[in-house]
């Protein structure tokens, strides 16, 4: 059974870190309803939902993808690039301890945010961003090379994380809103999408993807490729540079 690690949003969500966007009003009650609908997408498809303990004092704690990255049976606990987010780590570590996964950890002076990690087959693209440094990338490379993964560092300056700008379809095609992508030529196959909030997709199954409901033209383009497209509203998280990928960690059996 596939498992989904999530954490419900903090009432202080509106105080989350911002890098490239200006601060706008965030509705915490609407965010909770949107989060519940997001989780239901997975629950109704048979995913086991694992809730990480609430961390109401951590405004960005809902963005659990940044805290841990899973490669098969290995969970790599990240070290947040933002000081304000390092308090999220202990509860994530506790949740991972119950999954049966092998655990490794990025340590000082390395920083790594999971939102900077894009896995396509045995290739792992890692964003060299304001949140992920060279030491963090080197530590991840040392962990993954013995497992047959190639780690490729890519520059990220236009968005917060690599996966704020690009993600991948089930066939490995990298998709992104081109004005937000530093260098599309770094990817063997790249397809531009027409909307900013269409950059992020979560692969639910080999022929099924999830994306924001704020990208209807992108949804139509993916459907034209033959994919089944599921959409869900995440407007309150998008106001904080979030997207459909960063609200969960997927553990696939």
Annotated binding-site positions for substrate: 18, 60, 65-66, 85, 131, 240
What residue numbers does the annotated binding site cover? 18, 60, 65-66, 85, 131, 240
The whole-angstrom separation of Cα 180 and Cα 169 is 18
SS3 of 236, please? helix
Q: Which of 37, 42, 40 is nearest to 250 (CA)?
A: 42
Q: Are 191 and 174 in contact (CB under 8 A)?
A: yes
End-to-end CA distance of the chain: 6
Active-site residue, from 149, 161, 197, 222: 161
Q: Verify whether residue 243 is a known catalytic residue.
A: no
| Sheet containing strand 202-205, strands side by side | 202-205, 208-212, 228-232
Q: Are 222 and 209 in contact (CB under 8 A)?
A: yes
Active-site residue, from 78, 149, 222, 246: 246
Q: Verify whether residue 161 is a known catalytic residue.
A: yes
Q: Are 183 and 195 in contact (CB under 8 A)?
A: no
**Residues annotated as catalytic (active site), given as ranges:** 161, 246
């Amino acid at each position: 059974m596939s498992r989904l690690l999530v954490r419900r949003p903090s009432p202080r969500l509106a105080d989350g870190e911002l890098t490239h966007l200006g601060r706008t009003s965030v509705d915490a009650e609407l965010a909770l309803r949107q989060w519940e609908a997001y989780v239901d997408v997975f629950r109704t498809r048979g995913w086991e939902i694992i809730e990480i303990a609430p961390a109401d004092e951590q405004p960005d704690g809902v963005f659990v993808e940044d805290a841990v990255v899973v490669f098969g049976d290995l969970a790599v606990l990240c070290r947040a690039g933002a000081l304000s987010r390092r308090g999220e780590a202990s509860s994530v570590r506790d949740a991972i301890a119950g999954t049966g996964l092998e655990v490794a950890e990025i340590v000082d002076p390395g920083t790594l945010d999971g939102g900077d990690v894009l896995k396509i087959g045995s290739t792992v693209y890692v964003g060299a961003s304001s949140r992920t440094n060279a030491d963090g990338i080197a530590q991840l490379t040392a962990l993954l090379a013995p497992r047959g993964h190639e780690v490729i560092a890519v520059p990220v300056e236009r968005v917060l994380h690599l996966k704020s700008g690009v993600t991948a379809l089930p066939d490995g095609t990298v998709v992104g809103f081109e004005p937000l992508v530093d260098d599309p030529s770094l990817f063997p196959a790249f397809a531009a999408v027409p909307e900013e909030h269409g950059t992020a997709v979560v692969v639910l199954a080999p022929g099924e993807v999830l994306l924001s409901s704020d990208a209807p033209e992108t949804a139509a383009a993916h459907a034209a490729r033959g994919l089944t497209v599921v959409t869900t509203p995440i407007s309150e998280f998008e106001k904080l540079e979030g997207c459909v990928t960063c609200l969960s960690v997927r553990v696939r059996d």
